[in-house]
Amino acid sequence: AQKVTQAQTEISVVEKEDVTLDCVYETRDTTYYLFWYKQPPSGELVFLIRRNSFDEQNEISGRYSWNFQKSTSSFNFTITASQVVDSAVYFCALSERSYNTDKLIFGTGTRLQVFP
């Protein structure tokens, strides 16, 4: 079955530390998409990145970077020089599309707390 595992339930760091959030997925599909969303304390879900299964290039956006490794079925997210505003729950998600379903499968999230 399709599945997303975020084994780190909670991570605490001090500001300016680098932190990596792990995401491991299982899928039968040869073509799929992976996503990261941020849920700050205010509760909304903010889209961060979308990556397709054919593109294994790492991506960097400011202090954020993503490492996609198909060989280990992982899509890890690193925040460099973390800031208090990065405190949130981060969700990794996997697309699942078949004859009878069309949805995102979410991991259970990693709560990141950044202390000043």
Partner 1 sequence: NAGVTQTPKFRILKIGQSMTLQCTQDMNHNYMYWYRQDPGMGLKLIYYSVGAGITDKGEVPNGYNVSRSTTEDFPLRLELAAPSQTSVYFCASSYLDSTDTQYFGPGTRLTVL
Which residues would be at the binding site for partner 1 (CB under 8 A)? 4, 31-33, 35, 37, 43-45, 47, 50, 52, 91, 93, 95-97, 100-109
17 or 45, CB closer to partner 1? Answer: 45
How long, in residues, is the chain?
Answer: 116
Cα separations in angstroms, 29 against 3, 8, 37, 102: 12, 25, 22, 13
Write the Ramachandran bin of 76: left for phi over 0, alpha for psi from -120 to 50, otherwise beta. Answer: beta
Shortest gap between Cβ of 58 and partner 1 (angstroms)?
A: 19
Shortest gap between Cβ of 49 and partner 1 (angstroms)?
A: 9
Shortest gap between Cβ of 116 and partner 1 (angstroms)?
A: 26
Exposed, middle or buried: residue 53 (CB in 10 Å: 0-12, 13-18, 19+)? middle
Shortest gap between Cβ of 43 and partner 1 (angstroms)?
A: 5
Residue 78 near residue 67, CB atoms below 8 Å: yes
52 or 69, CB closer to partner 1? Answer: 52
85 or 99, CB closer to partner 1? Answer: 99
